[in-house]
Amino acid sequence: MSDILYIVVPCYNEEEVLQETASRLRHKLASLIESGAVSEKSRILFVNDGSKDRTFEIIESLHKTCKLFAGLSLSRNRGHQNALLAGLLTAKNYADAVISMDADLQDDIDAVDEMIKKYKEGCDIVYGVRSKRKTDSFLKRFTAEGFYRLMNFLGANTIYNHADYRLMSKRALEALENYKEVNLFLRGIVPLIGFKTDIVYYERHERFAGESKYPLKKMLAFAFEGITSFSVKPIRFITMLGFFITLVSVGMFVYTLVRYFQGNTEVGWASLIISLWAIGGLTLLSIGIIGEYIGKIYLEVKGRPRFIIDKLLLDEESEVKAEESSK
Ligand code: UDP
Ligand code: MG
């Protein structure tokens, strides 16, 4: 029997695209089932993220007309990442593997075949990566690519040019469930899980209808969330700056003393300059040190799993066998 595949699609005010998306996905899944690549228990799960338009009514009617469609509705709008997580963790209970993708089908659904192939070869996570960004506006491309670089520079490892189009196996999702953080940035968490992973390349299309639900403001908030959820390096910069300024203050101390003994200073200038630099440097350094502790607390309260086991080689009858061999 082949594996059950769930395709999870978060939807927020997507009434314009949903019918088309649904029919394309249904064709895809039906052909996968027909070719025997996935089980006929496979489903397309739409997650309604508190839409204000007819999105959920459309999902309901889709569910009524075809058993391949399933639906999930959140109590209110919780944002893309939370909607996605809700869908993934729900699908995990029914599926062997789950693929997540956006409702606007900007991600090429034909990459699904290759994802399944890699999954069958033993991969637990398969990332969809955009080979080009021709169709994105200059601003989107510039900000997005700059963002990946900044993230990696700050120590949060994300897959370059990978959005949330990916396949995850059941056990990868079970591992994901152990990341309890509320500030959710899936692109950063998933690489932390580990297991055997691979990449599938595809070309990104333009949104075929409706508008992006990620205006610049949401995009910046998302980027900030990504950085602050994964890196305490900004704190380290403060500490380093404080250290540097303290060093400068020592230099200023020497310089001011020399000027003082040369006799060409105003009364009070030396003490003022020295204390200005010294206090500035020490204040920054102290804030940095306090920050280091806060950073540690921050990482602790996330309560991330300390390890995830991939394989355990253990023969429970080994003791018996050892006895046998010693006889
Ligand atoms: N989305 C969501 N909740 C939100 C915002 C967006 O579930 O609050 C969904 C949206 O319906 C789409 C996906 O997240 O399926 C990505 O959004 P969009 O295509 O607008 O982002 P872009 O491709 O412009 O980055
Ligand atoms: Mg989109």
Sequence ranges of the domains in the chain: 5-212+305-326, 233-302
Write down the pLDDT at residue 322: 54
Least confidently predicted of 124-133, 172-181, 286-295: 124-133
Written as six digits, the tokens of 106 are 């900007």
For the record, the structure tokens of 290 come out as: 């306090």
Mean pLDDT across 5-12: 94
User: Is residue 172's pLDDT more than 90?
Assistant: yes
User: What mean pLDDT comes out for the span 159-171?
Assistant: 90
Average pLDDT over residues 4-16: 93
Ligand 1, closest atom to CA 83? 7
DSSP 3: P
Q: Tell whether the model's pLDDT for residue 324 goes beyond 60.
A: no
For residue 137, is pLDDT > 80?
A: no
> Tokens representing 85?
């997580």
Checking if the pLDDT of 112 tops 70, the result is: yes
Superfamily of domain 5-212+305-326: Spore Coat Polysaccharide Biosynthesis Protein SpsA; Chain A (3.90.550.10)
The response to whether residue 14 sits with its C-beta less than 6 Å from ligand 1 reads yes
Question: In angstroms, what CA-CA distances link 223 with 20, 49, 144, 255?
Answer: 30, 20, 9, 44
- Residue 326: the pLDDT is 52
Top mutation candidate among 8, 102, 135, 136 for ligand 1, by most atoms within 8 Å of CB:
102
3-state secondary structure of 160: coil
83 lines ligand 1 (CB under 6 A): yes
Q: Which residue has the higher pLDDT, 156 or 18?
A: 18
Percent of the chain past pLDDT 90, that is, above it, reads 42
58 has a pLDDT exceeding 70: yes
Q: How far is the CA of 261 from the centre of ligand 2 (A)?
A: 68
Q: Of 41-45, 49-53, 76-80, 271-275, where does mean pLDDT reach its minimum? A: 271-275
Going from the Cα of 83 to the center of ligand 1, the distance in angstroms, rounded, reads 10
pLDDT category, 4, cuts 50, 70, 90?
very high
Residue 238 to residues 147, 183, 234, 245: CA-CA distances in angstroms? 21, 23, 7, 11
Query: How does the average pLDDT of the chain come out, rounded?
Result: 86
Residue 136 has pLDDT above 70, yes or no: no
From 109, 116, 74, select the one nearest 208 (Cα to Cα): 109
Cα(138) to centroid of ligand 2, in Å?
15
**The pLDDT value given to residue 311:** 82
pLDDT at 87 over 90: yes
pLDDT at 121: 93
Local confidence band at 62 (pLDDT 50, 70, 90 cut-offs): very high
Q: State the pLDDT at residue 222.
A: 81
Within the chain, residue ranges assigned H as helices are: 15-34, 55-65, 80-92, 111-120, 138-153, 170-176, 186-193, 216-230, 233-262, 269-301, 318-326
Q: Is the CB of 242 under 6 A from ligand 1?
A: no
